[in-house]
Amino acid sequence: MNIDVLAKIVFTSFFFLWNVIEGVKLDTHYPHKLVVLYFYPLWRLLLIGTLVAASYWCHRLGMMMAFAVFFYFMDMQLLLYKEV
Amino acid sequence: MAPKAQNHLLDFYKKIEYGLHTLLYIVLIVAIIYGQQIPDSIKVYGPNPLYRIIAFILVLAVTLYISPIHGLLLALVIVLYVSFTPGSNGEGYQNSLVTARNQRRWFDEEVLGENPVAYQNDRVTTQAPNT
């Protein structure tokens, strides 16, 4: 099998499983470093840059990454800022 | 429109297409990164179904006519914008601050397997609306 196709399958499966595992939990625990890094705009820029690069490489991987990034941003927002 | 004018417009669009798409990338990325800092006065449009329908049609249009990656980023901007919409203050809670807690977990948290590190005050000052 072509290494490029294999890598796409591995990365897409990784983010798919990440979304499934984080999605089934009522109370998501992110690693401490991910919580701290959310404050830095450069970290968020890096994430979005990676998302764009991944989308150019493989649209399916981009979709899975977009889900993961969305849930991460939303959870951090709820944890750190949201009132009521 | 006369074919000549149409050609001129198409020519012009072809010339600025690359710059326009790059600019759109930058705008969308900045919107995602700083989306949570949008003032609440602008975020209130999030729950409005009409704005949501327009936004989702816009995502489809961008995906079809510009590129799927632009569409994906715009979809991310919109879902983040909708999810960051401030909650309703209809119940008049005044002091719902998030505080740390160390005491024993509540029964429902133990049953549901939740392990919160912070919670909103269980005693709040309420007030009837329009008073």
pLDDT in tens, chain B (131 residues): 556 778 888 888 788 888 888 999 999 999 998 887 777 777 777 777 888 889 889 999 999 999 999 999 999 999 888 887 766 544 545 555 555 556 667 777 777 777 776 666 556 667 777 65
Break chain A into its structural domains and give their ranges: 3-80
Residues recorded for chain B: 131
Question: Which residue of A lies nearest to B90 if distances are taken between CA atoms?
Answer: A84
Question: Which residue of B lies nearest to A56 if distances are taken between CA atoms?
Answer: B69
Whether the CB-CB separation of A56 and B69 falls below 8 Å is answered with: yes
Cβ atoms < 10 Å from Cβ of B76: 23
In the stretch 51-80 of chain B, residues with CB closer than 8 A to chain A read: 68-69, 72-73, 75-76, 79-80
Taking all residues of chain B, what is their mean pLDDT, rounded to a whole number? 77
**Structure ipTM:** 0.83
Cα dihedral B107, A81, A26, A19 in deg (nearest 10): -170
**Percent of chain A surpassing pLDDT 70:** 94
Tell if the pTM clears 0.80, that is, is over it: no
Q: Which candidate, B41, B121, B44, places its Cα nearest to that of B85?
A: B44
Q: Which residues of A touch B99 (CB under 8 A)?
A: none
Cβ atoms < 10 Å from Cβ of B26: 9
Minimum-distance CB partner of A55 among B72, B83, B98: B72
pLDDT of residue B61: 93
Distance of residue A19 Cα from the nearest chain B Cα, in angstroms: 16
Whether the CB-CB separation of A69 and A17 falls below 8 Å is answered with: no
Break chain B into its structural domains and give their ranges: 3-83, 90-126
pLDDT per residue over A25-34, tens digit each? 777 778 888 8
